[in-house]
Chains A and B, each alone.
Chain A
Amino acid sequence: MALEVEVKKQVYETPRTGFNWLIPIYVVATAFVVLFLVVPLGKVILETLGLIAGSESLPVDLLQYMMRITWNSVRLALLTTFVSLAVAIPVAIAVNKLRVPLGMGWTVLLTVPLITPPFISSFATILLLGRTGILTRFLNMLGVPSFSIYGLPGLVITQVLHLMPYSLLVIVAGLQSVPAHLEEAAHSLGESFWGTMGKVVLPYILPHILMGGTLVFLTSLGDIGAPLLVGGNYRVLPVEIYSNFVSFLGDDRIPVVFSAWIILMACLMMLVVNRLLKRTELKHSFRTRAITYDLPGLRRAATVFLALVTILFLLPYATIVVSSFGTVWTTKWLPNAFTLDNYKTAFTDSVAIRNSLILMAGAMPFTLFLSITFGQMNRDVPYMRWFDFITMLPFIIPGVVIGLSITRAWGAVKIGGFDLGGTVLVLLIAISIRRMPHAIRVLSAGFARIDKSLEEASWSLGASRSKTFKDVILPQLKPTIVASGVILSIKLITELGASLILYPPGWRTIPIYIYYYVSEGQIARGSAMGILLIVIIAVGNGIANRLTKDRGGI
């Protein structure tokens, strides 16, 4: 017993050398989030609390109603998460472990759904499975009775098709970090492939599975696009917040009451997830050579499985491609006529492409820097752990609310004649803040996997905290940093809610254009722009992959 206590103490031993140079970085990053997230939201909340205090009481059935739509939101998020994980785990194993043809190409194909702006993907669901959808017609011909996608089924379908790739990317990153010797040991002790996966590999990457699931869960919980288009009468919290916040016909008090509630819920969930993460902390020496298996039979089965999943997940995007070359597409099998005009228009709006690229390039390194900083701060400074919850807020607070609150707080402030709100800087800040949680969540899985003994070794050899961070921790994080960079770049370039409310003259982005087209009934044109966006990101990621490969492994 006494010995164990001794060991525990050693874990928390701090390095001997002087000042922790990471602290100033923590302070700057924290100050940034306080200024552009905590202060603006706090201001909105305080203003509304004043309003609530001075107004008549809230409707009696509000609490009951809130509970009902909370259950709606949670049920939707849980269903989406479970279905997503059930698809993502076998896909990740097949791609990583079974030497399937195309290899990681499947992962790349399956990340396409991440790129599409939510409005377009929801509309693809309608084109496919709506009452007059192509699949619906086909199923009707086969004698399957009509069904309605407006509500829970349509939402789960749309969200799984859209969000599964998050968990896939995180789990794939996890699989790449499984130490080869563990698998080799299991294998040489006579475990079958499934035994090795079930008893060694999956438990090892549990943090990644949990994080992938959490990412899907939280994104589903905060999603507005799909519920707006296919949610129908199935009402969820974020739509209620968004609608009542933006519309002057709505009730101003509802967004604040509901936001407070949704934040509380998300915090509780994060507590549970963090607890689980801690329980899965294993310490292994650090070696990341991925191991694969040569099992021809299983490989063939896996290839068929991958092909089926990929077809299923890309079907909506095939529909978008067809729609992007079409004119009017109503109750028939195909559009009335085909044309290239939609693409011509998309290219004439090339300023949107330029804007989106600049914004992404500007926001991405900064956001990644913030996210890594907070990830490290969370391990390094125990009394700042609660800050993790703050950085997560933008996950579930609609972008419009974040954008408007930043304008309210900072729009009229001038620093030495520099009008912050009048430049695109405010937009950059807003999308960084809004998308930061995605990177932080992905990274936290990587941080959970860091080998503490190496860190301690570095300390006891006299390295400072900052040196240990640079030379010991960062290299271990690398695969996760790449994964979070991919997700982050996609999330930044598809940001809509905050952009719409903040963009200064001349700074329309691709998602803004798509939003306009779709809201003006020009679905085909929006589809063309959406395809363009997919191509841009695919090319961008291809280049990024090349670059990271050239630099060589760790």
Chain B
Amino acid sequence: MKRISVALLVVLLMSTLLTAVAAAEELVVYSTIFAGYAERMVQEFEARNPGVTVHVINPGGTEAMIARLIAERDNPRADIMHSGGSTEYAFAKSQGILQPVDLGDIGIPAEIPLGSGMLPTRDPENYYFSWAVLFSGIMVNTERLAELNLPAPTSYKDLTNPIYKGQIVSPNPLLSSTAMNNVLATIQAYGPDEVWELWDGINANIGLYSDSTSNTYNLVNRGEFAIGIVNNRPVFEYQMQGWPVEFIFPRDGAMVQDNAVGVVNGAKNPELAKKFIEFLLGEDMQRIGAEYLYTPIRPGVLDADNFVALENMAKQIDVLLLPDPEQAEASRGIIQEKFEGYIRQR
């Protein structure tokens, strides 16, 4: 009797495990975006495309997502790669895990004016597209600063002040693109040589290089460290949740970055994938994204004085830095060498 029930249980279990869900149309999106936004994105897309089921899979960080896509290269399971910045997408493109998609004219120019330059909104060969804009800079816990009787820093330069000794946390630039972009910002602001004098000073104050970018935010939220070197959007999110944190655009330079999206090479549903990207860049979803504090890339979606609007962000920035892929590539070696030194000497 017992054997029979065990056998039955096993059969039942195996059949649950092996049943493929037979939906009419499925779109698999790999994305590391915040869960609240991801849920809304799925809802909105499914509402506009009856019969379609969207699965969002988050492999735990943009790097892990790319690693998974590379591992699945011979038999892709995802249609869309979503979230992460152009730097990561350029790498993904070089690995052959993206395919180009021709969107035609969707009302977003290939470049939009920003600061004193032009910000590209897509890959010239259409392998990936920006859908939101963010900035690198400094996060502070105001309660903790007050407790320690410290002024809030206003620039990267301020972070070299010995009063902040041990109070700064940064992700490891050798592993985190968030930290890497902050370093690239300082290189553009101070030049490839003088910048290391600046970092010698900041490094002396850094209490912790975190191997986990997300944990950097947690540690500042919690007040374990008063200051973090990060990106703006998550800080706004935590502020909204009630944490005593603020984002500071460094006076000596804030680097613009993006959240991008692309179609996975060999996607099972290329047509649906294209539709999804059009939807993401469309006016509706761009406006909804702003509710979740994602600065729209599409011009004219928000009023210029809206807190999230690109115009409003740009207004608060003294020196707006645009990504310079050539300089970034040229600096890679020295960044590797310098930070390996900083981190291994600890």
A interface residue numbers (CB < 8 A to B): 59, 61, 65, 123, 126-127, 130-132, 148, 150, 227-229, 231-233, 235, 239, 243-250, 327-331, 336, 358, 361-362, 400, 404-405, 407-408, 411-412, 419, 421-425, 428, 500-501, 503-506, 515-516, 518-523
Contact = CB atoms under 8 A, between A and B. Distances in A.
B310 to A, nearest CB: 24
B102 interface: no
Given A228-B211, A243-B211, A521-B218, A248 B143 contact: no
Given A328-B243, A358-B17, A407-B68, 6 more contacts: A148-B207, A246-B67, A248-B63, A249-B63, A249-B174, A523-B218
Contacts, number: 170
A365 to B, nearest CB: 8
B287 interface: no
Nearest to B53: A505
A249 B244 CA distance: 32
B175 A250 contact: yes
21 contacts: A123-B218, A132-B223, A150-B208, A228-B210, A228-B212, A229-B212, A243-B172, A246-B63, A249-B175, A328-B241, A330-B141, A331-B244, A411-B72, A419-B75, A428-B17, A500-B60, A501-B59, A518-B218, A519-B212, A519-B215, A521-B218
Contact of B13 (A150, A331, A362): A362
Interface in B48-73: 55, 57-61, 63-64, 66-68, 71-72
Task: Sort A-B residue pairs by CB-CB distance and give the 6 closest, nearest first.
Answer: A505-B55, A412-B74, A519-B214, A412-B75, A233-B346, A407-B71
A400 B64 contact: yes
A411 B57 contact: no
A501 B214 CA distance: 18
Contact of B18 (A425, A505, A506, A520): A425
Interface residues of B, number: 66
Contacts of B340: 59
Contacts of A424: 17
A400 B67 CA distance: 10
A250 B174 contact: yes
Nearest to A131: B224
Interface of B: 13-14, 16-18, 20-21, 26, 28, 34-35, 55, 57-61, 63-64, 66-68, 71-72, 74-75, 77, 88, 91, 141, 143-144, 147, 172, 174-177, 180, 207-212, 214-215, 217-219, 221-225, 234, 237-238, 241-244, 340, 343-344, 346
Contact of B242 (A131, A328, A404, A518): A328
Nearest to A243: B175
Contact of B180 (A126, A249, A329, A336): A249
B143 A330 contact: yes
Nearest to B172: A243
Given A330-B222, A521-B214, A521-B217, A411 B71 contact: yes
Contacts of B13: 358, 361-362
Nearest to A336: B242
Nearest to B147: A331
A331 B241 CA distance: 16
A67 B122 CA distance: 45
B333 to A, nearest CB: 12
B222 A329 contact: yes
A331 B63 contact: no
Contact of A408 (B18, B64, B71, B244): B71
B346 to A, nearest CB: 4
Contacts of A500: 58-60, 64
Contacts of B63: 246-249
* Most central of A329, A504, A505, A518 by chain B CB within 10 Å: A505
A521 B241 contact: yes
A107 B271 CA distance: 57
Contacts of A228: 210-212, 215
Given A331-B223, A521-B221, A246 B174 contact: no
A174 B71 CA distance: 43
Residue from B21, B88, B176, B241 whose CB has the most chain A CB atoms within 10 Å: B241
A128 to B, nearest CB: 12
Contacts of B224: 126, 130-132
Contacts of B176: 247, 249
Given A250-B174, A423-B20, A501 B68 contact: yes
A287 B146 CA distance: 67
A428 B17 CA distance: 9
A247 B175 CA distance: 6
B119 to A, nearest CB: 23
B289 to A, nearest CB: 16
Contact of B17 (A65, A150, A243, A425): A425
Contacts of B34: 520
A248 B66 contact: yes
B177 A249 contact: yes
Contacts of B223: 131-132, 330-331
Contacts of B74: 411-412
Contacts of B175: 243-244, 247, 249-250
A375 to B, nearest CB: 22
A407 B74 CA distance: 10
A424 B16 CA distance: 10
A421 B212 contact: no
Contact of B243 (A247, A330, A358, A518): A330
B219 to A, nearest CB: 8
A300 to B, nearest CB: 41
